[in-house]
Amino acid sequence: MAWVLLVLIVVALVVALWLVERVRVFEFERALRYRRGRFVDVLGPGQHWSFRPTTFVRKLDVRPRFVSIPGQEVLSADGVGLRVSLAAEYELTDPARAINNVENFQEALYVTIQLALRQIVGETPIDDLLDKRGELGARLLELVAEPAQQLGLTVKQVELKDIMFPGALKKTFAQVVSARK
């Protein structure tokens, strides 16, 4: 009779261990806990336990990330076609908002930065773009910061990498520069 009780206890322990899951969240991660398909909470670093049949845990990396936007064809305010590329640094600050409110937060940020770039270049004459190239990153950051917050992201930095001119325009600008000298 004692051995039957021992077998039942062992079986109960095995079933309990199978039903309970240990989730380890590292310092550079956050985890979203869903119970019965509904968002419950954000788990910070450490070890957490969850009831496997009804709970799903999704881990996310919150370390700073970088996005590079390759040459975009953009018209300046005076109608000159340019190829502008830029880079941005951001981090995931609100994982619940980033995952639950938008399908793909990375793609949404990419499009937001592209549209801000088009807005700034489209309202700026080409001479100002070249003269104030260093200030464009700060203006882009201003335009992108609020929409990024709505996505659960914090944009830390946006910088222009390159401004490229079409072939014929390059030659013309080179002639203008040599004439000024």
SS (H, E, C) the chain: CHHHHHHHHHHHHHHHHHHEEEEEECCCEEEEEEECCEEEEEECCEEEEEECCCEEEEEEECCCEEEEEEEEEEECCCCCEEEEEEEEEEEECCHHHHHHCCCCHHHHHHHHHHHHHHHHHHCCCHHHHHHCHHHHHHHHHHHHHHHHHHCCEEEEEEEEEEEECCHHHHHHHHHHHHHHC
**How confident is the model over 25-74, as pLDDT tens digits?**
999 999 999 999 999 999 999 999 888 888 999 999 999 999 998 887 88
Structure tokens at 53: 């049949």
Comparing CA positions, the residue from 61, 48, 54 lying closest to residue 22 is 48
More confident residue, 135 or 14: 135
Q: What's the pTM? A: 0.82
Per DSSP, what are the bridge partners of residue 59?
31
- Res. 149: pLDDT tops 80: yes
Give pLDDT, residue 39: 95
What pLDDT does 176 receive?
64
The tokens describing 100, both together, are 């639950």
Q: For residue 21, is pLDDT > 70? A: yes
pLDDT band at 174 (very low <50, low <70, confident <90, very high): low
For 91-116, the pLDDT digits (tens) are 999 999 999 999 999 999 999 999 99
